[in-house]
Chain A
């Protein structure tokens, strides 16, 4: 029974992926891509990788969805392009087939036996400061990788903020949006906090919590709730706080401790939870900053005469809201 369900799920993932690429209309392609993200999260869950499933669901369904829908709303559809030539299509198909073959050969070359790394990761959990092996890998054994990932996100957010022209104005939203947001925001914040704390002992952690926080900030902005808008200097500060604290921890362990990012089991639990909390806020602020910056530049560069989101965002002063 279960293999049949898995086959159906995998097949649907493939179909939505093909639709996302081949759908002639952009709104259809974007919808297919968002459904693809949700199904991919289910697939990760079936593969017993709940951490990745949570991250995919939060990022693919939340922030990526907001960015795609925003782009759909704010930009005129592209002019129809001339169909690509047969030579280009055949070259593309051949290149794709070659890549697929190379990947299949590579996967088959990987030994089937459980890699010793997993055994080591499990064996050292008692001294890692956390109980969940994925969190132990991310923030203790391989925290250098996580540090660089945070740096990549910070650079991306900085780049988006640098390209933004002016701030996105506070929107005046419709009552339905506002009401929905007022119910959703507490749930999202509670879920983000729970994922953050739960990450030490079960699936969850800074990335999942941060992605939810970013989605919550985007929803708050779209609903016209201007409590926390990560824009301007404050937004940059929140976005960079995670990277800077991580660097401070690295430098501190290098100068006073046993070496770069070597955590002493005595204070590792507290340090990991603290750094995860800062990282979650930073990731959330960074993702929301990317969204707000993107929207700000879209709004300013949007083609004249296309009301798009600008008109929806700012009803005339006399309009009932």
Chain B
């Protein structure tokens, strides 16, 4: 049992470290990349993956802490965590699309409007 505990600890720590690393890299991209499209590209993908890894770590932790392997309470929390990740995925995708593509009727063919709006 102790060996299993240590193994799970290592899994959780590895997932958390990878997740925070991806979020950090995404933030670096947001700060360093030159324009809107590349910044969105960096933040949306890296943050989604980072959040997913962190959620995976929390799911492992929650399921381990549950008193029994098939404890419904533990699975309930795990499902809620997954739902949070899915909603965040959807929100990021929609937000990035809205920021990147000018709305119909507003485009001038070069996306200039949005570019200026971002720096106002």
Query: How far is the CB of A156 from the nearest CB of chain B, in Å?
Result: 29
Residues of B within 8 Å of A118, CB to CB, are none
Asked whether any CB of chain B lies closer than 8 Å to the CB of A321, the reply is: yes
Q: Considering the chains assembled together, what is the distance between the CA atoms of A275 and B33 in angstroms?
A: 53
Q: Considering the chains assembled together, what is the distance between the CA atoms of A176 and B91 in angstroms?
A: 10
Residues of B within 8 Å of A320, CB to CB, are 104
Of B90, B104, B105, the contact of A183 (CB 8 Å cutoff) = B90
Tell me whether A177 and B120 are in contact in the complex, defined as CB-CB below 8 angstroms, given that A184-B87, A316-B105, A319-B105 are known contacts.
no
CB atoms of A179 and B94 under 8 A apart: yes
Asked whether any CB of chain A lies closer than 8 Å to the CB of B109, the reply is: no
Q: Considering the chains assembled together, what is the distance between the CA atoms of A307 and B107 in angstroms?
A: 12
Q: Considering the chains assembled together, what is the distance between the CA atoms of A275 and B104 in angstroms?
A: 44
Asked whether any CB of chain A lies closer than 8 Å to the CB of B97, the reply is: yes
* Chain B facing A: main interface SS: helix
**Chain B residues within CB distance 8 Å of chain A:** 83, 87, 90-91, 93-94, 97-98, 103-106, 120
**Chain A residues within CB distance 8 Å of chain B:** 25, 27, 77, 174, 176-177, 179-180, 183-184, 187, 307, 311-312, 314-316, 319-321
CB atoms of B106 and A307 under 8 A apart: yes
Query: How far is the CB of A270 from the nearest CB of chain B, in Å?
Result: 28
Query: How far is the CB of A291 from the nearest CB of chain B, in Å?
Result: 19
Residues of B within 8 Å of A315, CB to CB, are 103-105
Residues of A within 8 Å of B83, CB to CB, are 187
Residues of A within 8 Å of B91, CB to CB, are 180, 184
* Additional A-B contacts beyond A312-B105, A316-B105 (19; CB < 8 A): A27-B120, A174-B103, A176-B94, A176-B97, A177-B94, A177-B98, A179-B94, A180-B90, A180-B91, A183-B87, A184-B87, A311-B106, A312-B103, A315-B103, A315-B104, A315-B105, A316-B104, A319-B104, A319-B105
Of A176, A187, A316, the contact of B87 (CB 8 Å cutoff) = A187
Of B90, B93, B94, B106, the contact of A312 (CB 8 Å cutoff) = B106
Cβ-closest chain B residue relative to A309: B103
Residues of A within 8 Å of B120, CB to CB, are 25, 27, 77
Residues of B within 8 Å of A316, CB to CB, are 104-105
